[in-house]
Structure 1
Amino acid sequence: MAGPLPLGDPAPADGRLPADLRIDPATAFSAYLHVPFCRVRCGYCDFNTYTASELRGARQDTYADTLIGEIGLARDVLSDAGTLRPMETVFFGGGTPTLLPPGDLARMLGAAIDAFGIADDAEVTVEANPDTVTPAVAAELAAAGVTRLSIGMQSAVPHVLAALDRTHRPENVRTAVAAARGAGLAVSVDLIYGAPGESLEDWRESLHAATALDPDHLSAYALIIEDGTKLARQIRRGEVHAPDDDLQADMYELADAALRDAGYDWYEVSNWARTPAQRSRHNLAYWRGTDWWGFGPGAHSHVAGLRWWNVKHPAAYAQRLAAGESPAAGTERPGPEASALERILLRSRTAEGLPLSDVAPAGRTRVAGLIADGLVDPAAALRGALVLTLRGRLLADAVVRTLTD
């Protein structure tokens, strides 16, 4: 299970938005639907997920109906605020959404479409464990309106998968991709690098296997050790080594070169796509700071600068909704300074870049030094945007500190 929820102000029991909140109807609206169930907890995972033994009063077979209850609440709240906008993107994340029957995912998506409407060209993504994807599952998801499958490959090397506590069979990634393609779905593949015992050659093998699948999109994330996870405890006890920063940097450079050679362009520090149209529009919505409602236990939402987050445990989430109350546990409204910092943190990670006009004058005076250090693209800076070089992507946090300190 994830760490504690953020501190914030109490959320209203009825879920209503502040009376002075002004929602721009031209701002894109997205939905995130959290499915918090996993068969096995991966040793590195800090997400808000639960195995069967951890549910304690929550039921997986009634989860879809519970979440549909929050969709109804959101429709009423946003309708009262005067703004019902069609969804531009929908993302089923987890957990393992495909542990639920495809019909449950279809009902949740249908309820969201009935409540808000959906854009004609909407992107609808479902995360999936490779072992849970069959041609029948993929076909049912496609028939429900899903357009994209995000497959958790993580690695093609068995001992790396074992170090991550991943239980899927490497060969099933290929069959999952084929099933998705057969149903007409776009495909994204997720990778993780820097696992205990993973060598640069292991990582090269995984990259080769991933690009051989010819997905539309790839994500490659450096392994981060989160407090409270099994992997953190193993490292603390000296059972395995912590990720090596220099090796992870080498792995990132290898990934960027291998993916570029295979026809993929980076568009965010950890994400590559064949064409701009194949980028994850849902993730871009987060990086651009548009509006979204997060459904499910522990899910976070953002509307017109207001943020809130739901209670974490599925049982508490279900109890709130059954009582006719909002599942929101807390809320916050960041001020201008915090909002500006977040915009710099997020937009500077993207290939479209951060408008230099969003940086305070003191920070703009340091851009020349960042260019001299090889961290920022000089041509983009002349056009008024801060775009990271490959070296800058490796040191993205340092660039943000330089701009904001």
Structure 2
Amino acid sequence: MDPETFRRDLTAWLDANADELTPPYQGAGSMDAHMAHYSNVKGALFDAGFGRYGWPESVGGLGGSPLLRAIVGEEINFRGLADPNAWTMIEVLAPTVIEFAPPELSARLVPPFLRGEEMWCQGFSEPDAGSDLASLSCRASKTDGGWVVSGQKIWTSFIQYSQRCVLLTRTGEPDSAHRGITALLVDVDSPGITYSPIETMHGRLDFAEVYYDEVFVPEERLLGEEDGGWQVAMDILPYERSTTFWHRGALLHRRFCDLITQVSDAGDFSDSSAQAVGQVLLSILAFRSRSRDTQYRLAEGQQLGVETSIDKILITSAEQKLFETARDLLPGVIEFDEGRDAEMWRTDYLYSKAASIYGGTAEIQRNIVARRLLDLGPES
């Protein structure tokens, strides 16, 4: 199906099913409410067929270009129909599992993820290994029929709602860096896994610190090759910084439109306000233009790599500029007001502070661009 026809059919279906798909909660909503509604929207899209396009038939999809998945995420996020952070997890993890897992395993496990019956999470960062994944120390030791995993992860999103975790472990020598890393697909309910939720400053339990104490993982859950987990990680990261950012860009566009409406309704659209809004629009359009190019390169089968760091830099700038401007042009709303709109602005403003950290810190992304794209060499 061509993208134009697909978008037309999708938007018509979304309009016709607005009552079922509109979030039932007011304001920012609780995590439980967001996750329940996410599952509802995913299931409805899958049953209608739209949630199956862009995925291979081997995992229950209907085939077609990855652009079709990008269109679904864009429309869902622009309309505010599901939690954008939950929505992106499937785009981060499913393509890599399909690529690296045994075909029979992905055929069995991926369809429930597509239908919204399951959530998956990503176990990469550690207390002493954040942006520097090559220094991770969570260890997997070979045993009869699989591996035994022990160690600690942090900043794991949605583990309290997840059934599976794509986990990076150390299988080589401690100083083997990226050459001794292995990726495993772990069942979250496995004995020995415990976690402690981490409350963010916008009042949500989005993250958790996770402990693995002699957790057995069957050998069939190997992703890629033993000691080949670095390749799996490098496959995931471009997805994290490509289609998922395209979806988030749709959310920023929607919130930009909300800002214009509220500033106009307040009758305070001065020259300085117009200039500030114009700067925000330029930032959003710069990101969207870059991200659109990334979607088409992905759809053409091109290998995404370190150049997606540019996407990350641009979306960070756009997100933080948007919500800082909202704080300036809606004085007191974020700090003091009550009600649905104020709660949404407050949540988005506080969450935007993490934009320069999640998905790779701003400093790391600029270093990648400088050294690996512009060939500027190491710092002096």
Fold-level match, TM-score > 0.5?
no
Shorter-chain-normalised TM-score: which range? under 0.3
TM-score by length of 1: 0.24
More helix by share: 2
